[in-house]
Structure 1
Amino acid sequence: MNEQQLERMRTGKGFVAALDQSGGSTPKALLQYGVAEDAYTDEEGMFTAVHTMRTRIIQSPAFDSDHILGAILFENTMDREIDGKSTADYLWEDKGIVPFLKVDQGLDVEKNGVQLMKPMPKLDDLLARAADKRIFGTKMRSVIHEANPGGIKQVAEQQFEVGKRIFAAGLIPIIEPEVNILSEDREESERILKEEIIQQLAKLDPDVRIMLKLSIPSKDGFYSDLMQDSHVVRVVALSGGYPQKEANEHLARNPGLIASFSRALAEGLSFGQTEADFNETLKRSIESIYSASIT
């Protein structure tokens, strides 16, 4: 584990950029960027198009370590290069930004009010490859739709069980049990989830370190105590479907909570923009998200 990267994630000012759209969400991300599905003919063409988009973001002068602590990559992005370097090496060596990798294989069908992660039979191989690529940490997502205690307990148990395997492989896991911000009993789901997280943290060996990626809570400051736990490197927040402005407003009311935005980060970016317009749009987004993250 890179101690310099660990210290940066633990104490640095900034936020985490989520550039990890997978095969299922990539067409939507490209469409938002102005690249229609008829612009590519197969999966390889789709991934090439999205890597071009991500490369444009990463290489932008606005995408800098003064504002951004880390970036989460999709497996296909990890395996590609920017300027002759692996994407992870380019992020750290050229930008000073800590590389993470999305490792889950998507969501299972909804049951007991939640969607667990699909099985990950190749996880150990993926973690070994990530370590070889000098990836610092990982991210994996589940979703909670209802305040079902049994379902939420399953989410927490699965996330932490996989998280322990990831830490044992020398990487820092970002545990992401997302609460659907549109759910009718969202606040109760957050309460149950927090109790389960506290119980799981108490079971960890003293040396284990994790990060948490949570929906911005409905009650301001609700996760402040989790930030003080000795196992927790950082607590970051997903935008959860909020537009950028609204996500920033909610985030700013939660001291210590920093962003890990995807759609909100890329909002307003377009394939057809000039480099000047693209960079200026990205700069405004990054500065606004940064400002909300350091309150």
Structure 2
Amino acid sequence: MSKAEQHAQMSDGAGFVAALDQSGGSTPKALALYGVEASEYGSDEEMFGEIQKMRARIILADDFTNDKVIGAILFERTLGEEIDGKKVADYLWSVKGIVPFLKIDKGLEDQANGVQMMKPIPGLAGTLAKAEGVFGTKERSVIHEANAQGIADVVAQQFDVARVVTGAGKVPIVEPEVNIHSETKAEAEDILKSEILKNLDQLSEGQEIMLKLTIPNQANLYDELANHPRVLRVVALSGGYSTEQACDLLSQNGKMIASFSRALTEGLSKQQSDAEFNAALGGNINNIYRASV
């Protein structure tokens, strides 16, 4: 299966992108929601082992197919793991027909100018060179308030990283998340849109990105971004909304599809039988798919 087929699936495929990229900071919370208490693992190694079991269970589930899930974002450690004797990224594409992405950011700086920039990403070129079978990347920063300078800085940093990624022949998912609890969320989104447009217009032919954005207060605010020739797709993050809320809001935005993490795993538990687990996951997948198409 070729990169061209992956590109076509990400550009036009009906469905959504599953975010399975819980990292060191977000893993304990994700595990607790899944019914794995901190007392059940004694080290980072054991913690990541538990989250890998959860991810593998999701990926192996009957409903986790490219009929509804067109892409999946992985954490860097996951690339070294295997499912049924294949590396996870290879398994996703060769068995499930789902396009793999890699989370490359190393977390967030402390808040300044109403935003949190990405921490430096050392060895990025090497990581990209080693990330075989991965179609693209994802990198996240967060906007907390409508601070024009802060938002401009976040977007400029995102596009600097995006150029390194496109230079390595991969498609970056640029993710400047707007905090859903921000008191100036709508204003921040207007500023963000104009900064992204400015930076998109500076990309050259062949430099193509995806955008992962908080569902905007004003429905269809980001249609202009989705229509831009340098944008392959605009996906939405759930940002702390419940699955129901996130799906309801997303369905009002015709040119965005979901890329949910917590909303995808809502209601899943280690203690469930496989039948119960698959039924709960299948229900979430159906809801998110319907909101995306």
Give the corresponding residue for 1:64.
Answer: 65
State the TM-score, normalized to the length of structure 1.
Answer: 0.98
Superposed displacement of residue 258, structure 1: 0.2
Indicate the residue corresponding to 1:176 in structure 2. 175
Taking the aligned partners of 1:201 and 1:122, their CA distance within structure 2 comes to 25
Instruction: Tell me how large the CA RMSD over aligned residues is.
Output: 0.7
Moved over 3 A (4+): none
Determine helix, strand or coil for the equivalent of 2:268: coil
Q: Which residue of 1 aligns with 2:188?
A: 189
Please state how far the C-alpha of 1:207 moved relative to its aligned partner.
Answer: 1.2
Partner residue in 1 for 2:233: 234
Aligned to 1:221: 220
- SS of the equivalent of 1:127 reads helix
Matches of 1:111 and 1:68, distance apart in 2: 36
> Which ranges in structure 1 are unaligned for 5 or more consecutive residues?
none
Q: Give 1:80's aligned residue.
A: 81
CA distance in 2, matches of 1:56, 1:134: 21
TM-score, normalised on structure 2? Answer: 0.99
Compute the displacement of 1:124 (Å): 1.1
Distance 2:8 2:200 in 1: 20
Between the aligned partners of 1:256 and 1:69, the Cα distance in structure 2 is 16
Instruction: Give the Cα–Cα distance (whole angstroms) in 2 for the partners of residues 3 and 167 of structure 1.
Output: 15
Q: Distance in 2 between matches of 1:121 and 1:258?
A: 31
> Alignment identity in percent?
54
Instruction: Look up the SS of the partner of 1:105 in the other structure.
Output: coil
Partner of 1:29: 30
Whole-Å Cα distance in 2 between the matches of residues 121 and 149 of structure 1? Answer: 28
Secondary structure of 2:223's counterpart equals: coil
The answer to whether 1:16 aligns with 2:30 is: no
Q: Identify the residue that residue 280 of structure 1 maps to in structure 2.
A: 279
Give the partner amino acid of 2:281: L
Task: Report the count of equivalent residues.
Answer: 292
Alpha-carbon shift at residue 125 of structure 1 (Å): 1.2
In 2: Cα distance, 1:169 partner to 1:49 partner: 32
Give CA-to-partner distance per residue, 1:208-250, whole Å, 9 cap, x none. 1100000000000100111111110000000010000000000
Gap regions ≥5 residues in structure 2 = none
- Structure 2 distance, partners of 1:153, 1:136, is 27
For 1:236 and 1:120, the matched residues in 2 are separated by 23
Match of 1:207, SS state, is coil
Distance 1:79 1:217 in 2: 36
Letter in 1 for 2:253: N
Q: Deviations over 1:138-159 (max 9, x none)?
A: 0000000010000000000000
CA distance in 1, matches of 2:112, 2:4: 40
Give the Å deviation of 1:78: 1.2
